[in-house]
Amino acid sequence: MHEILSRLNERARVLDLGSGPGSFPPGATPARVVRVDAERPAAAPENFVLADAARLPFPSGSFDAIVSNHSLEHIADLAGAVREMLRVLRADGYLYIAVPDASTLADRVYRWLGRGGGHVNAFVSAEDVPRLFGAGNPATTRVLYASFSFLNRKNFRARAPRRLMLLGNGSEGFLRVGTWALRKLDGALGTRWSVYGWAYYFGEFPEGAPGTEAAKNVCIRCGSGHAAAWLEARGAVERRRFGPSRYVCPGCGARNYFTGG
């Protein structure tokens, strides 16, 4: 989403839809950000609005960009939410959408662990989202990779589900090895065991649309994705004689195995 957020100026307005406490940090864009969710988070961010995605309390054409980061799968009135998003977005605005692929291992584990996880809409094809919006093809569709960070026991504020015991009790060592192994399996066999979903970029990008390259190095704690070339350029990758190379997440400091590009 940062390819869109970084190109906006301070006069622009961004709608962070289904954001909870926020889909991105305040400093990610100079634009004014309005956060919207149907439930008020424990610590509501600045400019938070409690609203139904299918009944947004904003005039038409209010926003220069909309970010819907893993929220469409949770919205009961999906058609109404899509209609409202298109209404409040300017005709020349930008739209970023990320959704899980319901057919993947990661999403199935998420729904099994959380007894549904609040997912009421299943996306199983990369064409599902563009078909919903009916506004032409996205400028870019990017595959998203999983780190299974939702299993990380450090991320549970309340008591972790008992089912987590069957998955290494959510230890970072278990997630580190498991994620690395699934990436290697996918690379060798052409499978999709470590894929999570898709990200879509809609809008006109005069300088060229965002690339389709996937960030396969996804942090097992915070879920941030990092391109292999970016990590290597920063000197963040530690090459080891024995065992997989590794890196420390620039965002949260968690140790991860480096899975390449």
Instruction: Specify if 113 maps to a domain.
Output: yes
Which span out of 12-26, 36-50, 66-80, 103-117 was modeled with the highest average pLDDT? 66-80
Would the CA dihedral through 242, 239, 259, 186 be positive or negative? negative
pTM to 2 decimal places: 0.91
Instruction: Specify if 66 maps to a domain.
Output: no
Residue 135 has pLDDT above 70, yes or no: no
Residue 116 has pLDDT above 90, yes or no: no
For residue 98, what pLDDT is reported?
Answer: 95
- Give the DSSP letter string of 155-182: G-SSPPPGGGGGGGGG-HHHHHHHHHHH
Residue-number span of the structural domain to which 226 is assigned:
103-117+146-194+213-261
Please report, rounded to a whole number, the percentage of residues in the chain having pLDDT higher than 90.
71
What pLDDT, in 10s, does the model give residues 176-234?
999 999 999 999 999 999 999 999 999 988 888 888 888 899 999 999 898 898 899 99
**Chain-wide mean pLDDT for the chain?**
92
Instruction: Specify if 19 maps to a domain.
Output: no
For residue 208, what pLDDT is reported?
Answer: 83
Measured in degrees and rounded to the nearest 5, phi and psi for residue 184 equal: -65, -40
For residue 258, what pLDDT is reported?
Answer: 94
CA 215 to each of CA 143, 198, 200: distance values in angstroms, whole numbers, following the listed order? 8, 12, 14
- For 161, what's the count of Cα atoms within 13 Å in the CB-facing half-sphere? 15
Instruction: Specify if 165 maps to a domain.
Output: yes
Measured in degrees and rounded to the nearest 5, phi and psi for residue 235 equal: 70, 25
Would the CA dihedral through 192, 133, 12, 68 be positive or negative? negative
Instruction: Specify if 238 maps to a domain.
Output: yes
Instruction: Specify if 65 maps to a domain.
Output: no
For residue 163, what pLDDT is reported?
Answer: 92
- Out of 62-71, 142-151, 153-162, least confident range: 153-162
Looking at the structure of the chain, the number of domains it has is 1
Length of the chain: 261
Reported as a pLDDT band with limits 50, 70 and 90, residue 9 is very high
For residue 117, what pLDDT is reported?
Answer: 82
